[in-house]
Amino acid sequence: MLAVGVVILLSYLVGSIPSSIWVGKLVKGVDIRNYGSGNAGATNTFRLLGWQPGVAVLLIDFFKGFASAYWISQLAYFIGSGPVALFPYWEVDSFLRIVCGVVAVVGHMFPLYANFDGGKGMATAAGMLCGIEPVSVGITFGVFLIVMLVSRFVSLASLVAAFIYPLMLVVLRYGLGWPIDGSILIFGAIVGIGIIIKHRGNIRRLLNGTENQVGSFKPAVGWLNKDKQEQG
């Protein structure tokens, strides 16, 4: 149990790295949560700061999930007597990878280093799931791109991807006979539901027709000066 506790703690600390907030302060000296959509994530960074900072945030957030599931989880085998089987019908390694990945997503949503006010976890969840079962993630990412390019709504594409991913796991396991552990099915569904819940504000704006679409990869113009004028 000590080994599991240590890797869970490490995964949360890695997931808590607030990349968009730190990049925003580095590039513009501002807390990105105070501008645009107010979300501490890659999409808001793309919209406000441009594609270079946006790509940096996206890669960092993706890597947080991937590193937690693929590498940090494996540290448990070198701590004490190693991980134990908490549930007899699930593979220890698969269960450990998914738990560490989910904890990293939770850390992204509620980061220790940013007063527990983080992003929505889509990139971190994608990294986590890619570190566990990349085929289903690849299919889901294809769906994400299609929905985003057609609708121009990143939030809608994220919601559809979060809904599709658990279904892809079910199809791969029961339809195609892939050896996917039951723990991955359950926690994949939990992550999908969590992302959808985190997007509840976007869902309201989509229904009301007020959600922002993707315009270009250039940074928004005048957003910082406009906000200062409104405050002054």
**Total domains in the fold of the chain:** 1
Average pLDDT of the segment spanning 135-155: 92
Per the prediction, the chain carries an average pLDDT of 88
> In which residue are the tokens 């134990």 written?
84
Residue 16: inside a domain, yes or no?
yes
pLDDT surpassing 50 at residue 229? no
Tell me, yes or no, whether 201 lies in a domain.
yes
Model confidence at 100, pLDDT cuts 50, 70, 90, reads very high
Instruction: Please report which residue ranges of 71-199 form alpha helices under DSSP H.
Output: 92-109, 122-130, 134-151, 154-170, 182-198
How does residue 87 score in pLDDT terms, banded at 50, 70 and 90?
low
% of the chain surpassing 70 pLDDT: 93
More confident: 169 or 219: 169
Q: How far apart are CA 42 and CA 121, in angstroms?
A: 10
Are 35 and 113 in contact by the 8 Å Cβ rule? The answer is no
Phi-psi region of 92 (alpha: psi -120 to 50; beta: other; left: phi over 0): alpha
Domain extent for 38: 2-215
Give the mean model confidence (pLDDT) for residues 37-57: 91
Q: Tokens 């994220």 identify what position?
A: 158
* 223 part of a folded domain: no
Does residue 61 lie within any of the structural domains? yes
Q: Confidence class of residue 190 from pLDDT cuts 50, 70 and 90?
A: confident
User: Using 50, 70 and 90 to split pLDDT, how confident is the model at 156?
Assistant: very high
Q: Which DSSP state fits 3? A: H
Is the confidence at residue 164, as pLDDT, over 90?
yes
Q: Does residue 21 belong to any structural domain of this protein?
A: yes
Please indicate, yes or no, if residue 34 is contained in any of the structural domains: yes
Gap between the Cα atoms of 50 and 220, Å rounded: 7
∠ CA(138), CA(144), CA(149), 5° rounding?
Answer: 130
Q: Does any domain span residue 63?
A: yes
Domain assignment present for 188: yes
Confidence of residue 89 (pLDDT cuts 50, 70, 90): low
**pTM metric for this prediction:** 0.83
